[in-house]
Amino acid sequence: MSVIIPENDLPQELTAEEAVEAAYAGELAEVASKLQRGLPTLVECDKDISPYLYLNIRNRLRAVNLRCLYLDGRPRPEDQQGPVPTGMIGTMIAQLREAVRGAVERRVVVLPHLDLLTTSQGGLTAEAREVIPLLYENPELVWLGFKDPSFQIPKVIENLFTHHLSVLGINRARLGRLITRKESRKFGREFNPWGLYKYVSGLNAVRLRKLLSTLEGEDYPANPQKAYRQLRQATLGGTMEIPTISLDHDIGGYAKVKEQLRNEILNLLARKEQLTSEVEIKNIEDLLPKGMIFWGPPGTGKTLFAKAMASEIGAAVTIVSGPELKSKWVGESEDNLRQIFHRARQSAPSIIVFDELDSFATARGTYTGSGVEHSMVNQLLTEMDGFHREEMVFVVGTTNFVESLDPALLRPGRFEFHLHIPYPDADARREIFKIYDQKMSLKMNEEALEYAVRRTGEGYQTSQGTPFSGDHINALCRGIARLRLREGRTDETVTKDIDRALTEYEEKLNLTPREEQLLATHEAGHFIVATHCPNHPSPERITIQSEMSWAPAYVRFKQDETRRLGMTRNQMLDDLCVLLGGIEAERLLLNDISTGAGGSDLVRATILAHLLVETYGMGEGETGLRQYRSPRDGQRYDGLSEEHKLLIDKEVSRLIHEQQTRAQTLLKEHRAALEWLRDEVIRKKTIEAKELGKMQPADEAKKSAADIDKKPRSREKVKLE
């Protein structure tokens, strides 16, 4: 069945009362029926529509001779005979007391302002404590209450009502009855209410009529976007905004992430917009996930991707900080969530972005806070379960720790779509640099661009010890722009500008000759041992004048593609040997060892040896092919005997001693190369591996250095300190 409605099938004129009847006839008939049978009813609706709903219900009850008493707190002539209550609440309580204690016949008492009897946190006010006994005093009265969706009423009041009804937004199937012929002409010759629905799904019938009656523009336009833009602007509220971020032009790289987002979400929505078949549209709506998790390290653009998605579908966005939602007051955190969802529905199409979702939605039972997180997760699930499939409201949760989220959130129907946004690879970094180069007029030449990509890649880390993210690249480019601005430059950005922006103000160590000798000896030990370990990545750079203040000296190695899916035992043993090479070089050439140069190496070597024996079952002898620690959290399994613990410790010590002896042997065999490399590093501070072939070391040293080029080359990987 087509969703296109001929103009002649639309009403000529439409009042607000007629619109309410057309939009909610079934719901209002149900309320009247419940009240007629003596069942108290609570209606959840917007404030501006409750008077119209009441008038409709009152007229239905009059037809069956059931009287209504409307207690809205406005003084009536008969109220002026005694003492005049103070304010609206006082008047309402006085009217309620009179209605309860003066009633002699069955009638419906209407309470249009139930939220005034509570605080914003859902607790009881002093007036509410006076009112509650009155509500339960007279069984002859039938209560009709109206509740604002932004507020929660206390259970003691909510339990008074045996029947609950929610009148929020409008039903898509009834939208064709709520627009006049004249108004439909603003949307072209073929009026598609289902296309209009995504902009007005959260509006009630009265508010919708007010907006439609104010539409401007020509009739039967070739492009109806002007009318849609008017509606879009009118439905935005609060902190909602429509971002203007292009998925292709404002986000560099991440081709696979973009492809997944387009294939799973954006292309389906675009396809839905083109359809006019009711069945086909509903089929696509059944496939669309309304909850999404964007996860990955900090600064990789999770929120930026959410905004780009909103731009693609013309949705409004509200960014919600998880920690800011939490409140020490009972019920306020849940109330905050409730209001956020209500505003998002009124501003549909919309996307709610919960930044740092893990701050309150961690797995239940793991909380260490006040316990409010449990209630917040329940409220979040309640709000998401209340979505209608036709509503264009999406929820995106961003997190750095997806594994910590409550499993109830991740099941199908809730946050079922997961988008991983990792640290940018080389291609992504290159595209990100190009975007900022253009936006900030950096004029990077090709050499500077490629250097920037390498300088922020594997083997390098930020001052926080993490890989470079999109945010770090943005900060680097802004640093270059500031440098160019204060120097009044309009020339090209070159490689030295990148190093200056990264390290110009970092505190660097002024090494003494003794410290240079120690660091050069240590790093040369790593370098030489790695050269003669066939299963270890080849060295690519050695320096004692690091661009990173927190790592004054290092050896950087090429990336080994064979390790992407795991490591062999021989690779791990070679890694262990290289880690010990620095300490053993100190022992050999300096007849001493240091804590500063060798501390982190020893820690990593010990961890690696334990992984070999306890996690991967790669030890020998009596430890056997068995796992003693969980690979997930590193915790040792319970139930190990003291004898087995001793066996494990002995095997770990044996492996470390074995590779220590191996490193000693390699360094003694190639001592000439070790001493030559140490001296060259002290002299030049930094040496690239490709430069070694051009140098003229002693015969033995030259032979050892030449061996470097026999190992397969690949991209940068890690550094040993």
Residue 20's closest CA among 208, 147, 164? 208
The yes-or-no verdict on residue 709 having pLDDT over 50 is no
Give pLDDT, residue 104. 66
Residues 513-720, CATH architecture: Up-down Bundle (1.20)
Report how far residue 603's alpha carbon sits from residue 721's, in angstroms, rounded to the nearest whole number.
Answer: 12
Mean pLDDT throughout 652-679?
95
Largest CA distance in the chain: 118
User: For residue 548, what are the contacts with CB-CB under 8 A and spacing of at least 6?
Assistant: 460, 461, 463, 503, 506
Query: Is pLDDT at 658 greater than 70 in this prediction?
Result: yes
Q: How confident is the model at residue 470 (pLDDT cuts 50, 70, 90)?
A: very high
Helix, strand or coil, per DSSP, at residue 687: strand
- Strand ordering across the sheet containing 316-321: 316-321, 350-355, 393-399, 291-295, 415-420
Q: What is the pLDDT of residue 720?
A: 39
In this predicted structure, what is the pLDDT of residue 475? 93
Output 437 or 402, whichever has higher pLDDT. Answer: 437
**Amino acid identity, residue 525?**
G
What pLDDT does residue 19 have? 94
Higher local confidence (pLDDT), 513 or 323: 513
Chain centroid, CA 502 distance in Å: 28
CB 310 within 8 A of CB 269: no
Residue written as token pair 């050999």: 588
152-178 mean pLDDT: 88
Distance separating alpha carbons of residues 143 and 132, to the nearest angstrom: 13
Residue 228 and residue 374: Cα distance in Å, rounded? 40
Split at pLDDT 50, 70, 90, the class of 379 is confident
Confidence of residue 366 (pLDDT cuts 50, 70, 90): low
Where helices occur in 298-331 by DSSP H, the ranges are: 302-313, 322-325
pLDDT for residue 41: 95
Whether 343 has a pLDDT exceeding 90, the answer reads: no
Quote the pLDDT of residue 372.
Answer: 62
pLDDT of residue 333: 74
From 394, 376, 391, 387, select the one nearest 291 (Cα to Cα): 394
- Give pLDDT, residue 255: 94
All structural domains of the chain with their residue ranges: 1-221, 255-419, 426-503, 513-720
Whether the predicted pLDDT of 719 surpasses 50: no
- Which of 242, 247, 250, 268 lies closest to 258, judged by CA? 247
Q: How many CB atoms lie within 10 A of CB 523?
A: 28
- Determine which of 44-53, 177-186, 639-648, 693-702 has the lowest per-residue pLDDT on average: 693-702
How buried is 269 (Cβ within 10 angstroms: 0-12 exposed, 13-18 middle, 19+ buried)? buried
Q: Are 574 and 535 in contact (CB under 8 A)?
A: yes
pLDDT (tens digit, 9 = 90+) per residue, 513-548?
A: 998 999 999 999 999 999 999 999 999 888 887 766
Percent of the chain residues topping a pLDDT of 90:
42
Please answer whether residues 358 and 405 qualify as being in contact, where contact means their C-beta atoms are separated by less than 8 angstroms. Answer: yes
Least confident window among 14-23, 675-684, 695-704 = 695-704
pLDDT at 436: 94
pLDDT at 677: 94
Specify the pLDDT at position 237: 67
Q: State which fold the 1-221 domain adopts.
A: Rossmann fold (3.40.50)
Find the range with the poorest average confidence among 46-50, 508-512, 531-535: 508-512
Both structure tokens of 373: 């997180």
Task: Tell me if the bond preceding 552 is cis, omega within 30° of 0.
Answer: no
Contact of 481 with 442, CB cutoff 8 Å: yes
The residue-averaged pLDDT of 92-121 equals 79
Place of tokens 């509410």: 128
Cβ distance 380 to 338 under 8 Å? no
- Tokens representing residue 79 in the block: 């109220």
Over residues 475-498, mean pLDDT: 92
Q: How many CB atoms lie within 10 A of CB 638?
A: 5
Distant-in-sequence, close-in-space partners of 325: CB < 8 Å, separation ≥ 6:
333, 336, 337, 360, 376
Among left, alpha and beta (phi > 0; psi -120 to 50; other), residue 267 is alpha
List own/partner pairs for 444-451 with CB under 8 A and 24 or more apart: 444/492, 444/493, 445/492, 445/493, 445/494, 447/494, 447/495, 448/492, 448/493, 448/494, 448/495, 448/497, 448/498, 451/495, 451/498
91-95, 273-277, 649-653, 696-700, range with greatest mean pLDDT: 649-653
Residues whose CB falls within 8 Å of the CB of residue 697, separated by 6 or more in sequence, listed in order: 673, 676, 677, 680, 705
pLDDT above 50 for 347: yes
CB atoms within 10 A of CB 444: 24
pLDDT value of position 58: 95
Among 81-90, 110-119, 192-201, 287-296, name the one with the lowest average pLDDT. 81-90
| Same fold flag, 1-221 and 426-503 | no
Q: What is the pLDDT of residues 553-569, one digit of tens each?
A: 888 888 777 887 788 99
Look at residue 380 and give its three-state secondary structure.
helix
- Tokens linked to 593: 């060892």
In this structure, what token pair is assigned to residue 375?
């209630």
> Of 498, 483, 485, 492, which is closest to residue 429 (Cα–Cα)?
498
Q: Which residue from 288, 267, 284 is spatially nearest to 276, judged by alpha carbons?
A: 284
Give the model's confidence band at 391: pLDDT under 50 very low, under 70 low, under 90 confident, else very high.
Answer: confident
Would you give the end-to-end CA distance of the chain in angstroms? 70
Written as six digits, the tokens of 182 are 């004249």
Exposure b/e, 486-519, CB count within 10 A at least 16 = b: eeeeeeebebebbeebbeeeeeeeebeeebbbbb
Separation between Cα atoms, residue 94 and residue 89, nearest integer Å: 9
Query: In this predicted model, which residue has the larger pLDDT, 594 or 705?
Result: 594
Taking only the tens place, the pLDDT of each residue in 221-277 is: 988 888 888 888 888 766 677 888 999 899 999 999 999 999 999 999 999 888 888
Query: What is the rounded average pLDDT of the residues 403-428?
Result: 86
Specify the CATH class of 255-419 in words: alpha beta
CATH for the stretch 426-503: 1.10.8.60
Q: Phi/psi class of residue 631: alpha, beta or left (left: φ > 0; alpha: ψ in -120 to 50)?
A: alpha
